[in-house]
């Protein structure tokens, strides 16, 4: 078998699911349109390979889909629950928050919910306010849930396999506009949940981000490097549990932190990272996220909701004007 090959973000997820379904007959898929491959091609060919009993088309009811998935998990299956986009998942929130997240704790570990809820996240081009939300902080706030935001082809393969093997409820948040992203895929690579990745070494400032915003941050790093400013770019990958050790180690070396995310800045998960680093290290920290506005349909309005390369560069330079880490 060829291990290293080019693949798409959606194709990597299909391959991950295929291997897990071959290895474990308890893995099943349920959701709208999964039989025809899903709206992004993330289940392409799986119903033809595994049958309609394991790749199950459902009615249009997110509450029913999620509730069925929780029941399947408690009964011993390992369901992949397709919510199409995170915005639609709000209709099934009670089953996620009050059932999946709490069951293991409330019943003393007698039941577990090994469920992966796929909730594509983020701004969806020209899709407006009800299809363009970034809600990872909602789920990070809830005890009992694991939250994952893969930002690359490799990670969408490796992290989906890790999520399926974890044994706990995982909110798995692929970005809505990354499905066609191309990249290298090595099927032998394992990525544990809760481990960040350093995408670019640097000495002047630690830049932490995740999901599609990494592309904007990487471009900002290139532009600043041409000016002699070297940023260390960290992909958080898993929002909860997040990799405190990697982030703190990097910040201790660079003496500055900037957290950037596509989600609205107010109460975004970047605030948790910035506060932790400030409390632990006492260094200058900044966070940068979207404005607290609905995402508009018109291109000029949609652009106002995005975090641009220029904004990232300006925030990084402003952070660097502060003092380096304190000495004790």
CA angle 149, 125, 267 (to 5 degrees): 50
Q: How far apart are alpha carbons 145 and 239 in whole angstroms?
A: 10
Q: How far is CA 7 from CA 178, 183, 216, in A?
A: 12, 6, 22
The pair phi, psi for residue 46, each rounded to 5°, is -75, -40
Q: How far apart are alpha carbons 148 and 260 in whole angstroms?
A: 16
Q: How far apart are alpha carbons 107 and 126 in whole angstroms?
A: 44
**Most distant CA atoms of the chain, gap in Å:** 63
Residues 314 and 158: beta-carbon distance below 8 Å: no
The two structure tokens encoding residue 235: 């992909």
pLDDT score of 2 more than 70: no
* pLDDT confidence band for 325 (50 / 70 / 90): very low
Residues 121 and 131: beta-carbon distance below 8 Å: no
- Per-residue model confidence (pLDDT) at position 255: 97
Alpha-helical segments (H) within the chain: 9-23, 46-50, 62-74, 86-89, 93-94, 103-106, 136-140, 153-165, 213-225, 244-254, 269-281, 299-305, 309-320
Which structural domains are found in the chain, ordered by start? 8-186 (3.40.50.970), 197-320 (3.40.50.920)
Instruction: Give the burial class of 102: count Cβ atoms within 10 A of its Cβ; 0-12 exposed, 13-18 middle, 19 or more buried.
Output: middle
Residues 174 and 3: beta-carbon distance below 8 Å: no
- Per-residue model confidence (pLDDT) at position 3: 60
pLDDT score of 205 more than 80: yes
Residues 65 and 81: beta-carbon distance below 8 Å: yes
The mean pLDDT value for 131-156 works out to 98
Let me know if 131 is a catalytic residue.
yes
Q: Which helix (H) or strand (E) holds 118?
A: strand 116-118
Q: In 3D, which of 133, 285, 125 has the Cα closest to residue 208?
A: 285
> What SS3 class is residue 205?
strand
The mean pLDDT value for 105-128 works out to 95
The string of pLDDT tens digits covering residues 24-81 is 999 999 999 999 999 999 999 999 999 999 999 999 999 999 999 999 999 999 999 9
* pLDDT confidence band for 323 (50 / 70 / 90): low
Taking residue 279's Cβ as centre, other Cβ atoms within 10 Å add up to 9
Question: Assign residue 21 a region: left if phi > 0, alpha if psi is -120 to 50, beta otherwise?
Answer: alpha
Residue owning tokens 């009050």? 98
The string of pLDDT tens digits covering residues 242-288 is 999 999 999 999 999 999 999 999 999 999 999 999 999 999 999 99
- Per-residue model confidence (pLDDT) at position 216: 98
Please identify which of the residues 131, 175, 256, 261 carries the catalytic annotation. 131
């Amino acid at each position: 078998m060829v291990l290293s090959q080019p693949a798409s973000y959606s194709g990597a997820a299909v391959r991950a699911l295929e291997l897990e379904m071959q290895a474990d007959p308890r893995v099943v898929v349920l959701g709208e349109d999964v039989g025809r491959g899903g709206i992004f091609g993330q289940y392409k060919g799986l119903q033809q390979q595994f049958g309609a009993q394991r790749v199950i088309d459902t009615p249009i009811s997110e509450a029913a889909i999620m509730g069925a998935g929780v029941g399947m998990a408690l009964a011993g299956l390992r369901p992949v629950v397709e919510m199409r986009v995170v915005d639609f998942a709000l209709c099934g929130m009670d089953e996620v928050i009050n059932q999946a997240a709490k069951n293991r704790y409330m019943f003393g570990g007698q039941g577990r919910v090994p469920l992966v809820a796929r909730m594509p996240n983020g701004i969806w081009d020209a899709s407006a306010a009800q299809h363009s939300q970034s809600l990872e902080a909602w789920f990070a706030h809830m005890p009992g849930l694991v939250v994952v935001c893969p930002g690359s082809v490799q990670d969408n393969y490796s992290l989906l396999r890790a999520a399926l093997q974890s044994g706990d409820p995982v909110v798995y948040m692929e970005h809505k506009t990354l499905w066609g992203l191309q990249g290298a895929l090595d099927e032998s690579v394992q990525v544990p949940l809760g481990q960040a990745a350093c995408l670019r070494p640097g000495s002047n400032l630690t830049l932490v981000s995740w999901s599609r915003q990494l592309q904007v941050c990487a471009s900002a790093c290139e532009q600043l490097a041409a000016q002699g400013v070297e940023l260390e770019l960290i992909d958080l990958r898993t929002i909860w549990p997040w990799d405190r050790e990697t982030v703190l180690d990097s910040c201790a070396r660079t003496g500055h932190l900037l957290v950037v995310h596509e989600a609205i800045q107010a109460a975004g998960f970047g605030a948790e990272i910035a506060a932790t680093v400030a409390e632990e290290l006492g260094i200058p920290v900044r966070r940068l996220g979207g404005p607290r506005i609905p995402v508009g349909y018109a291109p000029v309005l949609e652009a106002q909701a995005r975090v641009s390369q220029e904004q990232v560069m300006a925030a990084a330079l402003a952070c660097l004007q502060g003092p380096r880490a304190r000495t004790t």
